[in-house]
Structure 1
């Protein structure tokens, strides 16, 4: 409990939109069907659902899910359903998760991401009758490993000083 607690600046809506667009662009890259490639949109939605639940909610998650459905040419609503449930659960546990260190936060986020993939797999099995395979769930493990990096990147603009002080080292 000796780690410093920062008072963060409010998150800019433009930065939130920029991070979601960047996550969507990362999902558009052709590496999306490789084993172990995380769903960056889901990861960023969970992050903002935990850190800014009033700015990024279920409606935005549904919209991003529809965009991912169109991109992946899957059943319309598959990702939307998964992202909506993911966002709801992230908002539901956001107060509890923020008290933990980053690595423990990653362990709390892991079941949410795993549940998202399980919902997508169940929908695919119902629609096509084919199971995507157990290696498909490796994406959630990689996303859990990336959680500290995503946290540091997305919280960086909020940690800057409000007043520029040339005598302060940071």
Structure 2
């Protein structure tokens, strides 16, 4: 508790929308089906569901899931279901997670990412009987997405940390 807790400015709704658009375009990058490529939309969705649960909720998660379903050309509703549950569970634990340092928060968000990835795999295996289990390396995506959590926290909270009136005599 030796670190100071700064009072954050209110978040701008346009910045939230911009962060979702940027995450969506990062998911557009041609990774070539590599294992361990993070799901940036899920990362941003969990971040804003934890930090701003009144602005980003299950409706935004469902809409982003449908957009990602169309982008990935997979069964309509797979990502929508996964992102909706992801947002629900993130909102459920948001008060507890905010008490911890961003590195410690990784321990709370990792099961969320792992659950969603397991849910997506389960839905694919249920719907398409000819589908094969992708292997355990496939779940490294959850680990890589979790490792990006402190970076996302630093980047997405940066506009809220700036002072409106710069005063060097005042620490807040």
Specify the alignment match of 2:27 in structure 1.
27
Change (3 A) 1:69 1:159: same
Structure 2: give runs of 5+ residues left out of the alignment: none
Specify the alignment match of 2:95 in structure 1.
95
Cα contact 1:38–1:143 (8 A) shared by 2:
yes
Structure 1: give runs of 5+ residues left out of the alignment: none
Taking the aligned partners of 2:171 and 2:157, their CA distance within structure 1 comes to 19
Specify the alignment match of 1:141 in structure 2.
143
Cα contact 1:61–1:87 (8 A) shared by 2:
yes
What TM-score results when the alignment is normalised by the length of structure 1?
0.95
Q: How does 1:7-86 map to 2 (within 5 A)?
A: 7-31=7-31, 33-86=33-86
Cα contact 1:106–1:144 (8 A) shared by 2:
yes
Aligned residue pairs, count: 170
Specify the alignment match of 2:155 in structure 1.
153
Alpha carbon RMSD of aligned pairs, Å? 1.6
Cα deviation for residue 166 of structure 1 reads: 6.5
Cα contact 1:124–1:131 (8 A) shared by 2:
no
Cα deviation for residue 103 of structure 1 reads: 1.1
The answer on 1:125 being equivalent to 2:155 is no
Taking the aligned partners of 1:18 and 1:33, their CA distance within structure 2 comes to 26
Aligned partner (choices 158, 163, 166) of residue 165 of structure 2? 163
Taking the aligned partners of 1:51 and 1:31, their CA distance within structure 2 comes to 29
Q: What SS does the aligned partner of 2:93 have?
A: helix
What TM-score results when the alignment is normalised by the length of structure 2?
0.94
Which structure 1 residue ranges, 4+ long, deviate > 6 Å from structure 2?
A: 166-170
C-alpha distance after superposition, 1:36-89 (max 9, x if no partner): 101000000000000000000000000000000001110000000000000000
